[in-house]
Structure 1
Amino acid sequence: MKAFLFPGQGSQYSGMAKDFSKYPFWNDLSKRAEEVLNIDLINIMNGDEETLKLTENAQPAIFLASFVAFKHLESLGINYDIFAGHSLGEYTAFAAAGVYDFDFGIYLVRKRGEYISQAIEPGKGSMAAVLKISAEKVEELVKNYEGLYVANYNSSTQTVISGLKSSIQKFIEDCKNKGIRATELVISGPFHTPFLESAREKLSKEIEHVKFKKPKVPIVLNSTAKESTDPEELKYYLLEQIAGPVYWLQSIRRMLELGVEEFIEVGPKNVLSNMLKREKIDIIHFSEIEEIEDSRV
């Protein structure tokens, strides 16, 4: 059994349009993306990091690159049995599985980014990775701070917290004094917390009249760490993860239970690959498959 994993925000980098332009589906899909969004997305993807990392820019950039990578794998005849996406990557997984089309997907993630940016005053929210202590311990620690939540259960050695920037900074300072490693992330808001409830409500209006289709393969959902092929369930939980936690490690464990033996990261950078390798789980990046195919020519 083979799983495709789609990355989330943080996997963007300046120059990604140039790198992905070598793939055969780039020209068509990048043109369609710019027409749908009416922005110069290619220049943003190749431009300065500060502009690219803005949520409303990073999300469509990653979505586009990941979908191009997916279409490339399909063209190589690489099969798949199940999908999962980390945070934003779940939106890409839905498009790849045919729940909605590419055009609506990239429109949706741009709107998601805009609504997240509008949900809380810039600079008031942040996130931090807490390393090498249990998620249960992190859950206990955050209770001592105003407006802090566990946002991502990424691996057995990394749990991400999210919330008010002032509380994040105090948390990091206290962790340092306790000998616990905690690092603030380069993220523009408190993702996956109740602070983003208004973003969830706005995005709900964007999709309430859109008919979601049954996916080609099951999708393991961030909010439940369970697989689903039910369109209404997919629609509900796609919204829920905006203001709720991402159970990523639990999702990976569920796929292993289902019999997944091969994981492929489908998108820019190798953030998900690094997470799984720390769990001693085999995974390859889609670009490695390209190299394997080239070596056979």
Structure 2
Amino acid sequence: MRAFLFPGQGSQYSGMANDFSVYPDWDYFGRRAEEVLNLNLIEIMNGDEETLKLTENAQPAIYLASYVAYNYLRQNGVGFQITAGHSLGEYTAFAAASVYDFDFGIHLVRKRGEYISQAIEPGKGSMAAVLRVSAEEVEKMVKNYEGLYVANYNSSTQTVVSGLKTSIDKFINDCKEKGIRATELVVSGPFHTPFLNSAREKLIREIEHVKFRKPTVPIVLNSTGKESTDPERLKYYLLEQIAGPVYWYQSIKRMLQLGVKEFLEVGPKNVLSNMLKREKINIKHFREIDGASAKK
């Protein structure tokens, strides 16, 4: 049993459009993205890092690259029986499982990025990854800082905190003094915290009248760490994760329980692959496989 995993924000990089232009249908999906968004997304993807890092730009850029990678695998007959996406990547997972089409997905992630940027001024919020400290200990630590929350349960050795930039800076400095490794992430907002409740409310209005389809495979949800194929449940929890934590490690453990033997990261960079390889989990980046030999 194989799972497709789609990465989230932080996996963007300048030049990604050039790199992904070698895959089939890049021109088609790149054109569709720019027409739907009325935006020169390709130029942004190949431009300076600071512009690309902005949430409203990074999210559609990663979605586009990840979907093109998924399309490449599909054309090579590489199948999957379950899927999940990390934060933003959950939106790509929904598209790959045919809950909605590519066009609606790219529209949705652009709006998601815009609404997140509107919720709190870019630069006033940030995130940091804490390594080799238990999630329970990190939960205790954040209580000592104003506007700081646990945002991502990424692995047994990595937990991400999110909140006010001033609190993140103090948290990182305090960790350094205690000999704890904490690294600020390349993001422009306090994702997965109550600071983004207004973004969630705005996105509700984008999708409340849109009919989600039943997915072609089960989707393991960020907000629950459990699988679902119910369209209304999928819609509800897709919105919940904007301002709530991502139970990623719990999601991976659930897929292992369900019988997943191979995970495939589908998108730019290899953030998820690196994270899960440390857990001794069988995961590859899609670029590592030969499509012809990896058919289901």
Give me the TM-score of the superposition, normalised by structure 2: 0.98
Structure 1: tracts of 5 or more residues without a match: none
Q: Report the counterpart of residue 145 of structure 1 in structure 2.
A: 145
3-state SS of 2:145 partner: coil
List 4+ stretches of structure 1 deviating above 6 A. none
3-state SS of 2:217 partner: coil
Please give the residue correspondences for 1:1-297 in structure 2 after superposition, counting only pairs within 5 Å.
Answer: 1-290=1-290, 293=292
Distance between the aligned counterparts of 1:212 and 1:122, measured in 2? 31
Percent identity of the aligned residues?
A: 81
What value does the CA root-mean-square deviation take over the aligned residues?
A: 1.2
Query: Structure 2: which amino acid aligns with 1:249?
Result: Y
* 1:122 Cα deviation from its structure 2 partner: 2.3
3-state SS of 1:280 partner: coil
Distance between the aligned counterparts of 1:149 and 1:7, measured in 2? 21
Query: Structure 2: which amino acid aligns with 1:170?
Result: K
* 1:293 Cα deviation from its structure 2 partner: 4.2
* 1:214 Cα deviation from its structure 2 partner: 0.1
Distance between the aligned counterparts of 2:160 and 2:284, measured in 1? 24
3-state SS of 1:182 partner: strand
Distance between the aligned counterparts of 1:181 and 1:80, measured in 2? 36
The number of aligned residues is 294
* 1:246 Cα deviation from its structure 2 partner: 0.3
Distance between the aligned counterparts of 1:41 and 1:125, measured in 2? 24
Distance between the aligned counterparts of 1:31 and 1:217, measured in 2? 28
Distance between the aligned counterparts of 2:123 and 2:62, measured in 1? 23
Contact preservation (8 Å) 2:77, 2:292: no
Structure 2: tracts of 5 or more residues without a match: none
Contact preservation (8 Å) 2:3, 2:82: yes
Give me the TM-score of the superposition, normalised by structure 1: 0.97
